């Protein structure tokens, strides 16, 4: 059963190439689909792309801040980006950046403390995803 899976995947990719008529477009689509929803840890900040428009993701991020009982220190929002600085109940600084990308994709990056905390960041992203009903 598992031996057939690569053939099916290859078949789907070939169908996409045939339907689209352009290998570059198909490759970009496959890459974009693979990237949405994955986590990226970079210099203490955990980033994830959500397949939702900026406004909806911004509201979900605010709801996650409220869910974890964080106190908002600073909140700036622009048409395609936003930034939140908050503190956890124990006083840990939390920095959150939300940025709109093309095709209704929004990136949320969160950093707990000065060096980052993977577990807390993952829990925060899980709450944002839950607010978005993912």
User: Please, what is the end-to-end C-alpha distance for the chain in angstroms?
Assistant: 29
Pairwise CA distance, residues 111 & 32, whole Å? 24
> Which of the two residues, 111 and 7, has the higher pLDDT score?
111
Q: pTM above 0.85?
A: no
CATH architecture of 39-131: 2-Layer Sandwich (3.30)
Model pLDDT for residues 3-39, shown as the tens digit of each residue: 445 555 545 554 444 445 544 433 444 444 444 557 7
Model pLDDT for residues 35-85, shown as the tens digit of each residue: 455 777 778 899 999 999 999 999 999 999 999 999 999 999 999 999 999
Place 134 in a pLDDT band, splitting at 50, 70 and 90.
confident
Q: Could you state, in order of their start, the residue ranges of all structural domains in the chain?
A: 1-35, 39-131
In order, the DSSP letters of 73-122 are EEEEE-SSEEEEEEE-TT--EEEEEEEEETTTEEEEEEEETTT--HHHHH
Provide the pLDDT for residue 36: 54
């Amino acid at each position: 059963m598992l031996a057939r899976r690569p053939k099916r995947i290859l078949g789907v990719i070939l169908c996409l190439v045939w339907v689209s008529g352009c290998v570059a477009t198909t490759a970009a689509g496959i890459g974009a689909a693979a990237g949405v929803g994955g986590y990226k840890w970079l210099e203490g900040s955990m980033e994830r792309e959500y397949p939702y428009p900026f406004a909806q993701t911004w509201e979900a991020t605010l709801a996650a801040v409220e869910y974890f009982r964080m106190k908002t220190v600073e909140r700036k929002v622009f048409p395609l980006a936003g930034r939140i600085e908050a503190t956890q109940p124990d006083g840990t600084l939390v920095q959150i950046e939300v940025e709109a990308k093309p095709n209704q994709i929004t990136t949320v990056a969160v950093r707990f403390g000065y060096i980052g905390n993977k577990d807390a960041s993952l829990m925060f992203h899980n709450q944002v995803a839950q607010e978005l009903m993912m």
